[in-house]
Chain A
Amino acid sequence: MRRLKQFGMMLALIFLAACGTTRAEIAPTFEQAAEEAKQSTVNFYMWGGDDGINRYIDEYVAPRLKETYDVELNRVPMDTAEFVRQLSLDKRANREEGTIDLMWINGDNFRNAAEADLLHGDLLDKIPNTKLLNEDAQATDAGTPTNGLEVAWGNVQFVMHYDADKVKDPPTTFDELHRWTEENPGRFTYPEVTDFTGNAFVRHLLYAEYGAAAGDGEIPDDFWEKLATWSPSLWKQGTTYPKSLAQLDQLYAAGDVWMTMGFNERRAEAERENGVFPSGTRALVLEHSIASTHFLAVPFNATNPNGALVVINELLSPEAQLAKQDATYWGDGTSLDLTKLDAVDREAFLKLDDGVTYPDPERLAERSIPDYGPAVIDAIREEWDRVAQ
């Protein structure tokens, strides 16, 4: 009986410990937030699958934060969907003291988080460096309005890469790409549409056919019929598709397919230099390219929201953004508006823009299109199975 009581007590304790009492408050001004954040630790949850990105955080950002603000940055690698799910469980259990202070997020995960009310709002007013942001990039996240729930961290565009040693006469439009696949059967494919990149590729095709008009999520049957005509000349005759962009990159690296694709116009540079991608890798910009932004957000139950604001401000500083865009670590495009920077900083950014695999920045900028909203992304996910069958 005594044991049973002990057991019950333990359960009750665990339960109490799980239900945090009060939510941490954000300081009214940034100066106060920086003061509060001194000597604290910020738990930064982010996808950890890229070595360059991890090194950028650990070797560049963390030491600077320690020095400037006396804030410890603890990078926690985890799949984004995973920690958003964890947060939504926190929400349901009324857990007001969470483990995440800052997170890297965009797309579906943001939409989930915003809909479930998992994020701190009004971030923009509280962080001085948000004044420098590119307003277009900040406004929407894959078509969902951001409403100050997240802050743009990087901005990239969709670019394809091909092996110039094998592809002598690269296509210039999506129609030509279709013809090219028919002339070179088995040498092209795209990731499944459950993948972020694969879905974006299909959106590009949709845009090539219907332009912005298809934004309501009603995709005509004709489009699917036309897409199905790609299948016979794709890799494995279109009976299967790479599960992820990583798998497509592997196929490309192995020479099985001759083109790959992805958000971030600088993504192939380091891979090519390391000998993963063929040395003939070059950028291919077709008639339009979707711009995509990724963001930083603070969960509703962050225990150190002030520290998180300090980290966001630091990540948005021109120096940190410049180091991020440099191919040394990551090569990720800046979310800042270059016209808002002073001349020296602007020059430094413009100087970065030469790499063998980089597309012509002006051409890329002029073909940039805004993304369709979530309705189209969902519709593609639901209906694309017809093509895969």
Chain B
Amino acid sequence: MSRSSLWLSLFVLALPFTGVAFLIYETVGFDWSELNDAAWRASLAVTLYVTLVSTVLSLVIGTWLARSVYRRQSTWLASLLRWPMFVPHVAAAYLFYVLFSGGFPFYGLVEANERHHLVVILTYVWKEVPFVFLMVIGTYAQLNQGYVDMAKTLQLTPFEQFKVAEWPFLVKPLLDSFWVLVAFISFAYEVPALLGVTFPELLGVLAYERLTTGLFLNAYESYAVALIWTLFIFIGVIGSYSMTAKRRRRIERGVRR
């Protein structure tokens, strides 16, 4: 590794740590019981719901699409699927807002700005499926066809074929995607701000609101929530990677043959 790239990576690494240090500094002396109000509690619940549903749906659909594209070798579908990646989140949110809150055919079926946050979830799934697709298609491209063939020879059911010949290799990209999506969706602003409701609000929206209105006193709540959430995701990432570490290493060695 060259020296400049070492410096660059140290710098990039230092940023999040500085951020966390700043958050800790800001929350010194904060009365944590202030977070125990109805707005934050409701926000946590709805955030977990929206994040998990969007993430899981994106992972399932993205993987399924990657698998079909890989099996049928359909390149046009592969390039078509990339398109939503190039639409910014704000633009996507606005697109879905227009589709679901005016006289368009979808109106009445599902509506924007309702408490189940269906349009929020839909927007995220539309935006994130191509991301998952790209993460997973690479794995499929490198997949050793031998395992699949062997599974077929052994006359396993299609589900078992998937389980033994494909799933072990997908754990790594899916885990990566899962945390990227959870971290992003759970604390984002623009999509839920435009398509969500006044109560309950997603964490990112509520935190931004408390940060920018009223006296600065309320800002500490937002810092505290940002801190807790960052640590929560950090622990989740460490935990899930260490739990799967052994398996992933074994698989990676196997793949390289």
Determine the residue in chain B with the shortest Cβ distance to A241. B198
Determine if A385 and B38 form an interchain contact, defined as CB atoms under 8 angstroms apart: yes
Closest chain A residue to B216 by CB distance?
Answer: A112
The smallest C-beta distance from B23 to any residue of chain A, in angstroms, reads 15
B124 to A: closest C-beta gap in Å: 19
CB distance from B213 to the nearest CB of A (A): 5
Indicate whether A368 reaches chain B with its CB closer than 8 angstroms: no
Residue of A nearest to B199 (CB): A388
Across the interface, B198 reaches (CB within 8 A) one of A79, A116, A240, namely A240
Q: Which of B113, B114, B216 contacts A116 (CB 8 A)?
A: B216
A88 in contact with B38 given A194-B209, A239-B197, A254-B102 (CB within 8 Å): no
Distance, CA A260 to CA B34, complexed state (A): 35
Cross-chain contact B199 with A108 (CB below 8 angstroms): no
Q: In the bound complex, do residue B193 and residue A194 qualify as a contact, i.e. CB atoms below 8 Å apart?
A: no
Q: Could you tell me the distance in whole angstroms from the C-beta of A256 to the nearest C-beta in chain B?
A: 9
Q: Are B215 and A81 neighbours in the complex by a CB distance under 8 Å?
A: no
Q: How far is the CB of B33 from chain A (nearest CB, A)?
A: 15
A192 contacts B198, C-beta separation under 8 Å: yes
Task: Report the Cα distance A300→B39, complex, angstroms.
Answer: 36
- A271 within 8 A of partner (CB): no
Give the number of chain B interface residues (Cβ < 8 Å). 19
B214 at the interface (CB under 8 A from A): yes
Tell me the complex Cα distance, A389–B215, Å: 24
B115 located at the interface, meaning its Cβ lies under 8 Å from any Cβ of chain A in the complex = yes
Is the Cβ of B212 less than 8 Å from the Cβ of A111? Answer: no
What are the interface flags for B172-207 relative to A under an 8 Å C-beta threshold, 1 for contact and 0 otherwise? Answer: 000000000000000000000100111100000000
Q: Mark A68-108, 1 if CB is under 8 A from B, else 0.
A: 00000000000101000100100000000000000000001
Contact with A along B107-144 (1 / 0, CB 8 A): 00000011100000000000000000000000000000
Interface residue SS majority, chain A: helix
Q: If A236-B114, A239-B114, A239-B115 touch, does A381 touch B214 (CB 8 Å cutoff)?
A: yes
Within residues 339 to 389 of chain A, which ones have a CB less than 8 A from any CB in chain B? 378, 381, 385, 388-389
Q: Which residue of B lies closest to A198 (CB)?
A: B198
Q: Mark B77-109, 1 if CB is under 8 A from A, else 0.
A: 000000000000000000000000010000000
Question: Could you tell me the dominant secondary structure of chain B's interface residues?
Answer: loop
User: Do A81 and B212 touch (CB < 8 A)?
Assistant: yes
A115–B215 contact, CB under 8 A?
A: yes
Chain B residues within 8 Å of A236, by CB:
113-114
- Total residues of chain A contacting the partner, CB 8 A: 23
B113 touching A240, Cβ below 8 Å: yes
In Å, the complex CA distance between A236 and B213 comes to 25
**Max chain A Cβ within 10 angstroms of own Cβ: one of B39, B196, B215:** B215
* Chain A residue contacts of B209, Cβ below 8 A: 194
Residue numbers in A under 8 Å from B214 (CB-CB): 108, 378, 381
Q: Is A166 an interface residue (CB 8 A)?
A: no
Neighbouring B residues of A385 by C-beta, 8 Å:
38-39, 199
Q: Given the complex of chains A and B, what is the CA–CA distance between A240 and B111 in angstroms?
A: 12
| A183 and B213 alpha carbons, distance in the complex (Å) | 34
A243, CB-defined interface residue at 8 Å: yes
In the bound complex, how far is the Cα of B3 from the Cα of A388, in angstroms? 56
CB-defined contacts of A115 to chain B, threshold 8 Å: 215
Are A388 and B198 in contact, with the CB atoms below 8 A?
Answer: yes
A190 to chain B, nearest CB (A): 11
Specify which chain A residues have a CB less than 8 angstroms from the CB of B102 in the assembled complex: 254
For window 1-48 of chain B, which residues contact chain A by CB distance below 8 Å? 3, 38-39, 42
B residues less than 8 Å from A88 (CB atoms): 216
In the assembled complex, the Cα of A378 lies from the Cα of B215 at a distance in Å of 9
Give the residues in chain B near A240, CB-CB below 8 Å: 113-115, 196-199
Bound-state Cα–Cα, A115 to B214, Å: 12
- Interface readout for B213-235 with A: 1 if CB under 8 Å, 0 if not? 11110000000000000000000
Residues of A301-322 at the interface with B, using a CB-CB cut-off of 8 Å, are: none
Q: Which of B42-83 contact A (CB under 8 A)?
A: 42
- Chain A residues within 8 Å of B38, by CB: 385, 389
Q: How far is the CA of A88 from the CA of B216 in the complex (A)?
A: 10
CB-based nearest B residue for A389: B199
Bound complex: CA of A194 vs CA of B102, how far in Å? Answer: 25
Contact assessment for A381 and B216 in the assembled complex, using a CB-CB cutoff below 8 Å = no
Chain B residues with Cβ under 8 A from A81's Cβ?
212-213
Chain B minimum-CB-distance residue to A84 = B216
Residues of B within 8 A of A79 (CB): 212
Looking across the interface, which residue of chain A has its beta carbon closest to that of B102?
Answer: A254
* Per-residue contact bits, chain A 36-70, to B (CB 8 Å; 1 contact, 0 not): 00000000000000000000000000000000000
A112→B102 CA distance, assembly (Å): 39
- Considering the chains assembled together, what is the distance between the CA atoms of A3 and B228 in angstroms? 37
Which residues of A pack against B, CB within 8 Å? 3, 79, 81, 85, 88, 108, 111-112, 115-116, 192, 194, 236, 239-241, 243, 254, 378, 381, 385, 388-389
18 extra interface residue pairs, beta carbon distance < 8 Å, beyond A79-B212, A81-B212, A108-B215:
A108-B213, A236-B113, A236-B114, A239-B115, A239-B198, A240-B114, A240-B115, A240-B196, A240-B197, A240-B199, A241-B198, A243-B193, A243-B198, A254-B102, A381-B214, A385-B39, A385-B199, A388-B199
**B positions within 8 Å CB-CB of A:** 3, 38-39, 42, 102, 113-115, 193, 196-199, 209, 212-216
- What are 9 A-to-B residue pairs whose CB atoms are below 8 Å? A81-B213, A88-B216, A111-B215, A112-B216, A236-B114, A239-B198, A240-B113, A240-B199, A389-B199
